[in-house]
Structure 1
Amino acid sequence: MDYHELPIPTLKVGSLGTHKALGLAKEKNARFLLASTSEVYGDPLVHPQNEEYWGNVNPIGPRGVYDEAKRFAEALTMAYHRAHGVETRIVRIFNTHGPRMRLNDGRVVPNFISQALGGEPLTVYGDGSQTRSFCYVSDLVEGMVRLLRSDYTGPVNCGNPQEVTILEFARTIIRLSGSKSPIVFRPLPEDDPKVRQPDITRARKLLGWEPRVGLEEGLRRTIAFFGEKLRRPA
């Protein structure tokens, strides 16, 4: 993933980049939407995760450069709102998938689909019992637009609360893609979250939002996109 290869730029984008963007929003009297992440919760001790939970993050671990960059970005965003009156919104994005994902970005959806379509073994880290919750991109965009148009300044989770283990997820992609790929297991990376599931009560109440695209329907669309992308000449 990008933050493994670019740890210092990741920290700079989350801190200096957010600072400059907030300064521009202040200058132009613009509304500012921060695309934050479920990674602010780290390896959570509360499940599912709601916005009141402060998280469990290792600040000096390899994932810390991304987690802490986003946590700092949230703190800076709220500081600009309180100190300068900037209209700010914060969306905490959980795992999202859909067309136009990069084939080689290192995340689980591109990895699994590319491996399945290529007839390669699907790489599962650990025993696959860790959980994730995958939201289709159109649902996420709808939630973000509703948040941007709302009057709420605190963080709001946007994600699909349908939780699945990574091993189940791998098997689902193999089945939906018609692949014969086997599954191989590798050691679990340091600080990899054991669970991830959004509590979207706040989004439901404030925005009238919840996901509409089911996991398998969304995956079929994503697999079709990847299939077309892989067939296309470079």
Structure 2
Amino acid sequence: MSGWTIIGAGGFIGGRLTRALRARGEAVYAPSRDAKDLFERDLGQVFYCAGLTGDFAVRPFDTVEAHVTLLAQVLAKARFERLIYLSSTRLYDSLGAAGGREDDMLAFDPAAPRNVYDLSKALGENLTLARSEGRGAVARLSNVFDLAEDASGFLPELLQEARHARTLSRDSVPGAVRDYIHAEDVVAGLLAMADRNATGVVNVARGENVSNADLAQVFAEAGWTLNLAPDRPTPQAPVCATARLRALGVAPRDPRVLLREALRAPDFFRG
């Protein structure tokens, strides 16, 4: 093997992957967006982590550039051993409760503006699986969270606020659910995919949906109040299959347990 390449090493997952690989003594190439030698050197094992999440709606063309355009150039021009493309379990959303398996036939409305994310990720998956000469695999990540103070997202931002206030409020209904997976478990899953030469698509997910009401209960047990919006019916969400991930030896931890441990730490609340 000729080392590792992380495309998107400056991002949330890419940075953690880079640190994890270097911690185990691996040589890691983390090219910048405009790296001149990307197509001149042997990239070895590639993790393609480049992408947009929260701001894809206001940056649709950058979203396509990150999810598809650069990937196509890497597949067409670069020298590499294997490539794992980071996608999203958001691709199951339009399937509702019927979705969540890696072999599901996906469905998208091409006229829906939000689907620039889904469609570009789906095209990235297609290129990886069909145009890599058998050297590509896809990791579909669910809702990744981290308990670090600089992390972003619904759950991390709740925790950051909870360090200074005992009453929290969110304009989100109790019945809304997410499949939360800790960033460390994501990194473990991605490394397992690479080390064990996983093929096809693998859901990197916990495999269990946690509702806002569940989170409110955890906060309440630890001495906080989480106020939510009045409940209303919400579309049924897919439940991600995780047999392929678990067959690689990765069993993601329960986010409620991690949240409970964080809230009960002696130095957590600062007032």
- TM-score, normalisation: structure 2: 0.66
Tell me which of the two structures has the higher relative contact order, counting C-alpha pairs closer than 8 angstroms and 6 or more residues apart: 1
Q: Which segments of 5 or more consecutive residues in structure 2 lack a partner in the other structure?
A: 1-53
| Cα distance in 1 between the residues matched to 2:200 and 2:69 | 21
Q: What secondary structure does 2:129 align onto?
A: helix
CA contact (8 A) 1:143 1:209 kept: yes
Greater C-alpha Rg = 2
What residue is the counterpart of 2:135 in the other structure? 87
Structure whose residues are more often helix by fraction: 1
What residue is the counterpart of 2:205 in the other structure? 159
Per-residue deviation, residues 167-194 of structure 1 (Å, max 9, x unmatched): 3224434544x43453335999xxx964
Residue 219 of structure 1 pairs with residue 259 of structure 2:
yes
| Cα distance in 2 between the residues matched to 1:137 and 1:19 | 27
> 1:86: Cα distance to partner?
5.3
Residue 61 of structure 1 pairs with residue 112 of structure 2:
yes
How many equivalent pairs are there?
Answer: 215
Question: What letter corresponds to residue 109 of structure 2 in structure 1?
Answer: N
Find the partner of 1:73 among 124, 130, 153: 124
> 1:91: Cα distance to partner?
0.7
Residue 182 of structure 1 pairs with residue 227 of structure 2:
yes
What residue is the counterpart of 2:188 in the other structure? 142
Q: CA RMSD in A?
A: 3.2
Per-residue deviation, residues 139-196 of structure 1 (Å, max 9, x unmatched): 22111111112233210111112322223224434544x43453335999xxx96414
Which stretch of the first structure deviates more once superposed, 167-176 or 179-188? Answer: 179-188
Identity %: 20
Per-residue deviation, residues 31-55 of structure 1 (Å, max 9, x unmatched): 1110111011123234461111123
| Cα distance in 2 between the residues matched to 1:158 and 1:116 | 28
Find the partner of 1:208 among 219, 242, 249: 249
Q: Which segments of 5 or more consecutive residues in structure 1 lack a partner in the other structure?
A: none
What residue is the counterpart of 2:158 in the other structure? 112
Q: What secondary structure does 1:4 align onto?
A: coil
- TM-score, normalisation: structure 1: 0.75
Question: What letter corresponds to residue 147 of structure 1 in structure 2?
Answer: M
Which stretch of the first structure deviates more once superposed, 213-222 or 2-11? Answer: 213-222
What residue is the counterpart of 1:50 in the other structure? 101
Question: What letter corresponds to residue 217 of structure 1 in structure 2?
Answer: V
CA contact (8 A) 1:32 1:89 kept: yes
> 1:2: Cα distance to partner?
1.7
| Cα distance in 1 between the residues matched to 2:171 and 2:214 | 10
What residue is the counterpart of 2:88 in the other structure? 37
Question: What letter corresponds to residue 202 of structure 2 in structure 1?
Answer: V
CA contact (8 A) 1:40 1:55 kept: yes
CA contact (8 A) 1:95 1:134 kept: yes
> 1:214: Cα distance to partner?
2.2
Q: What secondary structure does 2:190 align onto?
A: helix
Find the partner of 2:174 among 117, 124, 128: 128
| Cα distance in 2 between the residues matched to 1:209 and 1:50 | 17
Q: Please give the residue correspondences for 1:16-35 in structure 2 after superposition, counting only pairs within 5 Å.
A: 16-23=69-76, 27-35=78-86
- Residues 172 and 8 (structure 1), Cα distance of their counterparts in 2 relative to 1, 3 Å cut: farther
Question: What letter corresponds to residue 122 of structure 1 in structure 2?
Answer: S
